[in-house]
Amino acid sequence: MTDSAGRARELRRAQTQPAIHVGPGEQPQLAAAVERGGGALSALPGADGVVWADLRPDSLPELPASVRWVQLSIAGIERWLARIEATPAVTFTSAAGVYAQPVAEHALALLLAGVRGLATSARARGWQPTETGVLTGSTVAIVGAGGIGRALIELLRPHRVEIVAVTRSGYDVAGAARTLPAARIGEVWSAADHVVIAAPATEATRRMVGACELRAMRSHAWLVNVARGTLVDTDALVAALRERSIAGAALDVTDPEPLPDEHPLWTLPNAIVTPHVASPPAAEAALLAQRVRENVERLAAGEPLLAPIDAERGY
Name the catalytic one among 13, 228, 293, 298: 228
The 3 state secondary structure assigned to 140-203 is EEEECCCHHHHHHHHHHHHHCCEEEEEECCCCCCCCCCEEEEHHHHHHCCCCCCEEEECCCCCC
Name the catalytic one among 263, 276, 284, 294: 276
Rounded to the nearest angstrom, the gap between the alpha carbon of residue 165 and the centroid of all alpha carbons in its chain is 15
Separation of alpha carbons 189 and 172, rounded Å:
19
Active site residue 62: no
Name the catalytic one among 78, 257, 284, 294: 257
Is beta strand 91-93 parallel, antiparallel or unpaired with respect to 178-181? unpaired
Cβ-in-10-Å burial (0-12, 13-18, 19+) of 14 comes to exposed
Write b or e for each residue in 225-239: b if 16 or more Cβ atoms lie within 10 A of its Cβ, otherwise e: bbbbbbbbbbebbbe
Active site residue 215: no
Active site residue 168: no
Separation of alpha carbons 91 and 310, rounded Å:
9
Please provide the DSSP assignment of 78-141 as one string.
GGGHHHHHT-TTSEEE--TTTTHHHHHHHHHHHHHHHHTTHHHHHH-SS---------TT-EEE
Residues identified as active-site: 228, 257, 276
